[in-house]
Copies of this chain bind each other. A is one copy, B any other.
Amino acid sequence: MTGTDDLAARLRSGDRRALARAITLVESGRADHRAAALDLLAALPDPEDCLKIGLSGTPGVGKSTFIESFGLMLTGQGHRVAVLAVDPSSARSGGSILGDKTRMEHLSRDPAAFIRPSPSQSELGGVARRTREAAQLCAAAGYDVVLIETVGVGQSETQVAHMTDLFLLLLAPAGGDELQGVKRGIMEIADIILVNKADGDLRPQALRTCADYAGALRLLRKRPQDPEGFPKAMCVSAIETTGLETAWQEIRTLHRKRRESGWLARSRADQAVHWFEEEVRQALLARLRREPVRGLMADLARRVERGEETPAAAARLLIERMLGPGAPADP
Protein backbone atom coordinates (compact mmCIF):
# COMPACT_ATOMS: atom_id res chain seq x y z
CA MET A 1 0.00 0.00 0.00
CA THR A 2 2.87 2.32 0.91
CA GLY A 3 4.52 1.20 -2.33
CA THR A 4 1.45 2.25 -4.22
CA ASP A 5 1.27 5.64 -2.50
CA ASP A 6 4.90 6.26 -3.29
CA LEU A 7 4.43 5.20 -6.91
CA ALA A 8 1.38 7.49 -7.22
CA ALA A 9 3.33 10.45 -5.85
CA ARG A 10 6.29 9.88 -8.18
CA LEU A 11 3.98 9.41 -11.15
CA ARG A 12 2.16 12.67 -10.42
CA SER A 13 5.45 14.49 -10.28
CA GLY A 14 6.05 13.36 -13.87
CA ASP A 15 8.62 10.61 -13.21
CA ARG A 16 8.75 8.59 -16.46
CA ARG A 17 10.04 5.45 -14.81
CA ALA A 18 7.23 5.56 -12.27
CA LEU A 19 4.75 5.89 -15.14
CA ALA A 20 6.29 2.92 -16.96
CA ARG A 21 6.17 0.84 -13.78
CA ALA A 22 2.57 1.82 -13.12
CA ILE A 23 1.56 0.77 -16.65
CA THR A 24 3.32 -2.56 -16.17
CA LEU A 25 1.23 -2.95 -13.04
CA VAL A 26 -2.11 -2.37 -14.78
CA GLU A 27 -1.03 -4.72 -17.56
CA SER A 28 -0.19 -7.55 -15.21
CA GLY A 29 -2.52 -10.52 -14.86
CA ARG A 30 -1.26 -11.39 -11.35
CA ALA A 31 -3.87 -11.02 -8.61
CA ASP A 32 -1.62 -9.03 -6.25
CA HIS A 33 -0.56 -6.72 -9.07
CA ARG A 34 -4.19 -6.21 -10.00
CA ALA A 35 -5.05 -5.27 -6.42
CA ALA A 36 -2.18 -2.76 -6.35
CA ALA A 37 -3.29 -1.39 -9.76
CA LEU A 38 -6.80 -0.82 -8.42
CA ASP A 39 -5.40 1.11 -5.46
CA LEU A 40 -3.18 3.14 -7.74
CA LEU A 41 -5.97 4.07 -10.16
CA ALA A 42 -8.26 5.04 -7.29
CA ALA A 43 -5.53 7.29 -5.88
CA LEU A 44 -4.91 9.14 -9.13
CA PRO A 45 -7.03 11.78 -10.87
CA ASP A 46 -8.14 11.59 -14.52
CA PRO A 47 -7.61 15.27 -15.40
CA GLU A 48 -10.33 16.85 -17.48
CA ASP A 49 -7.93 18.96 -19.51
CA CYS A 50 -6.11 15.96 -20.95
CA LEU A 51 -7.24 15.44 -24.55
CA LYS A 52 -7.48 11.78 -25.47
CA ILE A 53 -7.42 11.14 -29.21
CA GLY A 54 -8.16 7.86 -30.95
CA LEU A 55 -6.28 7.20 -34.19
CA SER A 56 -6.93 4.43 -36.67
CA GLY A 57 -5.24 3.61 -39.94
CA THR A 58 -4.27 0.44 -41.73
CA PRO A 59 -0.60 -0.40 -42.31
CA GLY A 60 0.82 1.59 -45.21
CA VAL A 61 -1.01 4.84 -44.62
CA GLY A 62 2.00 6.29 -42.83
CA LYS A 63 0.67 6.15 -39.31
CA SER A 64 4.05 6.03 -37.59
CA THR A 65 5.30 8.96 -39.66
CA PHE A 66 2.12 10.87 -38.86
CA ILE A 67 2.46 10.23 -35.13
CA GLU A 68 6.11 11.25 -35.28
CA SER A 69 5.40 14.54 -37.11
CA PHE A 70 2.20 15.36 -35.26
CA GLY A 71 3.72 14.48 -31.89
CA LEU A 72 6.83 16.57 -32.50
CA MET A 73 4.70 19.53 -33.58
CA LEU A 74 2.76 19.28 -30.32
CA THR A 75 5.81 18.92 -28.08
CA GLY A 76 7.29 21.88 -29.98
CA GLN A 77 4.28 23.90 -28.85
CA GLY A 78 4.83 22.89 -25.25
CA HIS A 79 2.47 19.96 -25.03
CA ARG A 80 3.37 16.68 -23.40
CA VAL A 81 2.34 13.77 -25.61
CA ALA A 82 1.78 10.11 -24.75
CA VAL A 83 1.26 7.44 -27.43
CA LEU A 84 -0.45 4.14 -26.63
CA ALA A 85 -1.66 1.29 -28.81
CA VAL A 86 -4.70 -0.89 -28.36
CA ASP A 87 -4.18 -3.76 -30.76
CA PRO A 88 -3.06 -7.08 -29.39
CA SER A 89 0.39 -7.67 -30.82
CA SER A 90 -0.38 -11.30 -31.61
CA ALA A 91 -2.94 -10.16 -34.15
CA ARG A 92 -0.32 -8.98 -36.58
CA SER A 93 3.08 -10.06 -37.76
CA GLY A 94 6.20 -8.60 -36.30
CA GLY A 95 4.86 -7.92 -32.84
CA SER A 96 3.61 -4.61 -31.54
CA ILE A 97 3.44 -1.77 -34.01
CA LEU A 98 5.14 0.48 -31.48
CA GLY A 99 7.75 -2.09 -30.51
CA ASP A 100 9.92 -0.78 -33.30
CA LYS A 101 10.52 2.66 -31.88
CA THR A 102 12.94 3.43 -34.67
CA ARG A 103 9.88 4.24 -36.74
CA MET A 104 9.35 7.21 -34.44
CA GLU A 105 12.96 7.85 -33.68
CA HIS A 106 12.78 11.58 -32.92
CA LEU A 107 9.57 11.44 -30.92
CA SER A 108 10.76 8.45 -28.91
CA ARG A 109 13.81 10.47 -27.77
CA ASP A 110 11.79 13.59 -27.02
CA PRO A 111 11.64 14.13 -23.23
CA ALA A 112 8.14 15.60 -23.60
CA ALA A 113 6.85 12.40 -25.24
CA PHE A 114 6.09 8.98 -23.83
CA ILE A 115 5.60 6.01 -26.18
CA ARG A 116 4.31 2.71 -24.88
CA PRO A 117 4.03 -0.40 -27.04
CA SER A 118 0.83 -2.42 -27.02
CA PRO A 119 0.69 -5.02 -24.25
CA SER A 120 1.54 -8.45 -25.62
CA GLN A 121 -1.71 -10.17 -24.89
CA SER A 122 -4.04 -11.68 -27.39
CA GLU A 123 -7.41 -10.94 -25.85
CA LEU A 124 -8.71 -7.61 -27.12
CA GLY A 125 -11.08 -6.93 -24.21
CA GLY A 126 -8.20 -7.22 -21.75
CA VAL A 127 -5.87 -5.10 -23.90
CA ALA A 128 -8.51 -2.40 -24.26
CA ARG A 129 -9.10 -2.19 -20.53
CA ARG A 130 -5.39 -2.02 -19.83
CA THR A 131 -4.88 0.65 -22.48
CA ARG A 132 -7.70 2.73 -21.04
CA GLU A 133 -6.12 2.49 -17.61
CA ALA A 134 -2.69 3.30 -19.05
CA ALA A 135 -4.20 6.41 -20.66
CA GLN A 136 -5.48 7.50 -17.25
CA LEU A 137 -2.01 7.00 -15.80
CA CYS A 138 -0.47 9.11 -18.60
CA ALA A 139 -3.00 11.87 -17.95
CA ALA A 140 -2.25 11.77 -14.23
CA ALA A 141 1.47 12.00 -15.05
CA GLY A 142 0.85 15.33 -16.79
CA TYR A 143 0.63 14.30 -20.44
CA ASP A 144 -2.01 16.65 -21.83
CA VAL A 145 -2.41 14.87 -25.18
CA VAL A 146 -2.78 11.09 -25.24
CA LEU A 147 -2.88 9.43 -28.66
CA ILE A 148 -4.33 5.92 -28.68
CA GLU A 149 -3.71 4.16 -31.95
CA THR A 150 -5.19 1.05 -33.48
CA VAL A 151 -4.65 -0.73 -36.78
CA GLY A 152 -8.23 -1.85 -36.79
CA VAL A 153 -8.17 -5.49 -35.79
CA GLY A 154 -11.74 -6.55 -35.11
CA GLN A 155 -13.64 -4.30 -32.73
CA SER A 156 -10.67 -2.25 -31.61
CA GLU A 157 -11.89 1.07 -33.04
CA THR A 158 -15.09 0.86 -31.07
CA GLN A 159 -13.11 0.11 -27.96
CA VAL A 160 -10.83 3.09 -28.61
CA ALA A 161 -13.83 5.34 -29.29
CA HIS A 162 -15.09 4.41 -25.81
CA MET A 163 -11.91 5.65 -24.16
CA THR A 164 -11.14 8.81 -26.14
CA ASP A 165 -12.61 12.28 -26.59
CA LEU A 166 -12.42 12.27 -30.37
CA PHE A 167 -11.38 9.97 -33.17
CA LEU A 168 -9.10 10.41 -36.21
CA LEU A 169 -9.01 8.12 -39.22
CA LEU A 170 -5.83 8.23 -41.30
CA LEU A 171 -6.08 7.22 -44.97
CA ALA A 172 -3.74 7.11 -47.95
CA PRO A 173 -4.61 8.62 -51.33
CA ALA A 174 -6.39 6.14 -53.56
CA GLY A 175 -6.27 6.17 -57.32
CA GLY A 176 -9.23 6.25 -59.66
CA ASP A 177 -11.12 3.00 -59.74
CA GLU A 178 -9.13 1.19 -57.13
CA LEU A 179 -10.44 3.29 -54.28
CA GLN A 180 -9.24 1.86 -51.03
CA GLY A 181 -11.82 0.08 -48.95
CA VAL A 182 -12.38 1.51 -45.51
CA LYS A 183 -13.19 -1.24 -43.10
CA ARG A 184 -16.90 -1.30 -42.48
CA GLY A 185 -17.63 0.53 -39.28
CA ILE A 186 -14.63 2.80 -39.00
CA MET A 187 -16.02 5.66 -41.06
CA GLU A 188 -18.93 5.70 -38.66
CA ILE A 189 -16.70 6.51 -35.73
CA ALA A 190 -14.33 9.04 -37.28
CA ASP A 191 -14.65 12.70 -36.29
CA ILE A 192 -11.92 13.79 -38.69
CA ILE A 193 -10.61 11.84 -41.67
CA LEU A 194 -7.04 12.74 -42.57
CA VAL A 195 -5.84 11.80 -46.05
CA ASN A 196 -2.09 11.50 -45.64
CA LYS A 197 0.65 11.67 -48.28
CA ALA A 198 -0.79 14.82 -49.84
CA ASP A 199 2.63 15.60 -51.25
CA GLY A 200 4.50 15.29 -54.54
CA ASP A 201 2.89 13.17 -57.23
CA LEU A 202 0.27 11.86 -54.83
CA ARG A 203 -1.15 15.28 -54.01
CA PRO A 204 -3.84 15.37 -56.74
CA GLN A 205 -4.94 11.88 -55.77
CA ALA A 206 -5.03 12.89 -52.12
CA LEU A 207 -7.25 15.86 -52.94
CA ARG A 208 -9.64 13.64 -54.90
CA THR A 209 -9.72 11.02 -52.16
CA CYS A 210 -10.42 13.74 -49.61
CA ALA A 211 -13.33 15.04 -51.71
CA ASP A 212 -14.72 11.51 -52.08
CA TYR A 213 -14.70 10.93 -48.35
CA ALA A 214 -16.05 14.40 -47.62
CA GLY A 215 -18.96 13.48 -49.88
CA ALA A 216 -19.46 10.16 -48.15
CA LEU A 217 -19.38 11.79 -44.71
CA ARG A 218 -22.16 14.16 -45.74
CA LEU A 219 -24.36 11.11 -46.26
CA LEU A 220 -24.04 10.20 -42.61
CA ARG A 221 -26.15 11.74 -39.91
CA LYS A 222 -24.54 14.69 -38.14
CA ARG A 223 -23.85 14.15 -34.47
CA PRO A 224 -25.98 16.54 -32.44
CA GLN A 225 -23.11 17.47 -30.14
CA ASP A 226 -20.91 18.72 -32.96
CA PRO A 227 -20.65 22.04 -34.82
CA GLU A 228 -21.52 22.24 -38.51
CA GLY A 229 -18.97 20.66 -40.80
CA PHE A 230 -18.09 17.70 -38.57
CA PRO A 231 -17.23 14.95 -39.24
CA LYS A 232 -14.84 16.33 -41.84
CA ALA A 233 -12.14 15.14 -44.22
CA MET A 234 -8.80 16.94 -44.67
CA CYS A 235 -5.46 16.46 -46.43
CA VAL A 236 -2.16 16.24 -44.58
CA SER A 237 1.41 15.31 -45.38
CA ALA A 238 3.22 13.76 -42.46
CA ILE A 239 6.52 13.83 -44.37
CA GLU A 240 6.28 17.49 -45.38
CA THR A 241 4.46 18.28 -42.11
CA THR A 242 1.80 20.24 -44.00
CA GLY A 243 -1.79 20.38 -42.84
CA LEU A 244 -0.87 19.19 -39.36
CA GLU A 245 -1.36 22.59 -37.74
CA THR A 246 -4.75 22.97 -39.45
CA ALA A 247 -5.74 19.48 -38.32
CA TRP A 248 -4.74 20.37 -34.77
CA GLN A 249 -6.86 23.55 -34.92
CA GLU A 250 -9.87 21.51 -36.05
CA ILE A 251 -9.29 19.00 -33.28
CA ARG A 252 -9.14 21.82 -30.74
CA THR A 253 -12.26 23.45 -32.13
CA LEU A 254 -14.23 20.22 -31.91
CA HIS A 255 -12.87 19.49 -28.46
CA ARG A 256 -13.68 23.00 -27.20
CA LYS A 257 -17.23 22.90 -28.55
CA ARG A 258 -17.88 19.52 -27.02
CA ARG A 259 -16.49 20.74 -23.74
CA GLU A 260 -18.47 23.97 -23.70
CA SER A 261 -21.70 22.16 -24.45
CA GLY A 262 -21.14 19.84 -21.50
CA TRP A 263 -21.05 16.87 -23.86
CA LEU A 264 -17.46 16.00 -23.00
CA ALA A 265 -18.05 15.65 -19.26
CA ARG A 266 -21.21 13.65 -19.98
CA SER A 267 -19.33 11.43 -22.43
CA ARG A 268 -16.58 10.69 -19.93
CA ALA A 269 -19.08 9.81 -17.22
CA ASP A 270 -20.87 7.54 -19.70
CA GLN A 271 -17.58 5.96 -20.68
CA ALA A 272 -16.77 5.21 -17.03
CA VAL A 273 -20.14 3.50 -16.60
CA HIS A 274 -19.60 1.63 -19.87
CA TRP A 275 -16.28 0.25 -18.64
CA PHE A 276 -17.73 -0.68 -15.28
CA GLU A 277 -20.49 -2.67 -16.96
CA GLU A 278 -17.98 -4.09 -19.43
CA GLU A 279 -15.72 -5.26 -16.61
CA VAL A 280 -18.63 -6.94 -14.87
CA ARG A 281 -19.68 -8.64 -18.10
CA GLN A 282 -16.12 -9.74 -18.83
CA ALA A 283 -15.71 -11.18 -15.36
CA LEU A 284 -18.98 -13.06 -15.65
CA LEU A 285 -18.20 -14.31 -19.14
CA ALA A 286 -14.76 -15.37 -17.95
CA ARG A 287 -16.60 -18.23 -16.25
CA LEU A 288 -17.38 -19.55 -19.73
CA ARG A 289 -13.70 -19.79 -20.50
CA ARG A 290 -12.91 -21.92 -17.48
CA GLU A 291 -12.90 -25.72 -17.63
CA PRO A 292 -15.09 -27.75 -17.58
CA VAL A 293 -17.57 -25.17 -18.93
CA ARG A 294 -15.26 -24.25 -21.77
CA GLY A 295 -14.99 -27.81 -23.06
CA LEU A 296 -18.74 -28.36 -22.86
CA MET A 297 -19.40 -25.08 -24.65
CA ALA A 298 -17.05 -26.02 -27.50
CA ASP A 299 -18.74 -29.43 -27.82
CA LEU A 300 -22.17 -27.87 -27.91
CA ALA A 301 -21.08 -25.22 -30.42
CA ARG A 302 -19.93 -28.00 -32.76
CA ARG A 303 -23.27 -29.76 -32.41
CA VAL A 304 -25.12 -26.52 -33.12
CA GLU A 305 -22.89 -25.88 -36.13
CA ARG A 306 -23.73 -29.31 -37.54
CA GLY A 307 -27.43 -28.73 -36.92
CA GLU A 308 -27.67 -31.53 -34.35
CA GLU A 309 -28.91 -29.18 -31.66
CA THR A 310 -30.83 -25.90 -31.82
CA PRO A 311 -29.06 -22.84 -30.37
CA ALA A 312 -31.74 -22.53 -27.69
CA ALA A 313 -31.60 -26.16 -26.54
CA ALA A 314 -27.81 -26.16 -26.45
CA ALA A 315 -27.78 -22.93 -24.43
CA ARG A 316 -30.23 -24.38 -21.93
CA LEU A 317 -28.07 -27.48 -21.49
CA LEU A 318 -24.98 -25.38 -20.82
CA ILE A 319 -26.67 -22.99 -18.41
CA GLU A 320 -28.21 -25.86 -16.41
CA ARG A 321 -24.79 -27.42 -16.09
CA MET A 322 -23.24 -24.12 -14.99
CA LEU A 323 -25.85 -22.74 -12.66
CA GLY A 324 -27.77 -25.88 -11.73
CA PRO A 325 -31.08 -27.21 -13.03
CA GLY A 326 -34.00 -24.83 -12.96
CA ALA A 327 -31.75 -21.87 -13.56
CA PRO A 328 -33.61 -19.58 -15.91
CA ALA A 329 -32.17 -19.82 -19.40
CA ASP A 330 -34.56 -17.11 -20.45
CA PRO A 331 -33.38 -13.55 -20.59
Q: Which residues of A contact B (CB under 8 A)?
A: 29, 31, 34, 37-38, 41-42, 46, 123, 125-126, 129, 133, 179, 181-185, 187-189, 212-213, 215-216, 218-222, 269-270, 272-273, 275-288, 297, 300-301, 304-307, 309-316, 318-319, 322-323, 327-331
Contacts and interface: CB of A to CB of B under 8 A. Distances in A.
A182 B305 contact: no
A248 to B, nearest CB: 25
Contact of A286 (B133, B281, B330): B330
Q: Is chain A's interface secondary structure helix, strand, loop, or mixed overall?
A: helix
Give the one of A185, A309, A313, A329 with max B CB within 10 A: A329
Contacts of A319: 280, 283-284
A272 B31 CA distance: 36
Contacts of A188: 184-185, 188
A192 to B, nearest CB: 15
Contacts of A288: 280-281, 284
11 contacts: A37-B312, A38-B312, A42-B313, A46-B307, A184-B188, A213-B219, A276-B300, A276-B304, A283-B328, A284-B285, A284-B288
Contacts of A31: 328, 330
A301 B277 contact: yes
A193 B56 CA distance: 27
Contacts of A213: 219
Contacts of A286: 328, 330-331
